[in-house]
Structure 1
């Protein structure tokens, strides 16, 4: 796959503005986008763990599983 295809896939389809970018710019944007997603996921996991941490220990894992399933694994 090319950076263009990967970027279109990440953004949910082709965007006309992507035609104005060079291959290097598309690659850079793709890297930034994936890094932002990773940081967002890490922040969400940290927040959920802090919230669940207020519960008694036996209820933490089942509560997290019920509320979020496998989304945060």
Structure 2
């Protein structure tokens, strides 16, 4: 699979602009996109942990599990 194919897969399908990019540009954009997703997920986990920390200790884990399920698993 090429970087262009992987990029289009990450973006949810082919886009008109991806055919104008060189292979190295597609690879760079793919790397940036994946890095941004990781950072966003890490930021969300940190924000939720900060919020849940304000609850009494016995309620923290159940509240997090009820509200977010497995979405925040690392």
Root mean square deviation of aligned Cα:
0.4
Q: 2:17 corresponds to which residue?
A: 17
Report the number of matched residues: 73
Q: TM-score, normalised by structure 1?
A: 0.98
| CA displacement at 1:2 relative to structure 2 | 1.0
**How far, CA to CA, are the matches of 1:21 and 1:53 in structure 2?**
45
Q: TM-score, normalised by structure 2?
A: 0.97
Moved over 6 A (4+): none
Structure 2 gaps, min length 5? none
What SS does the corresponding residue of 2:13 show, helix, strand or coil? coil
Structure 1 gaps, min length 5? none
Q: 1:47 corresponds to which residue?
A: 47
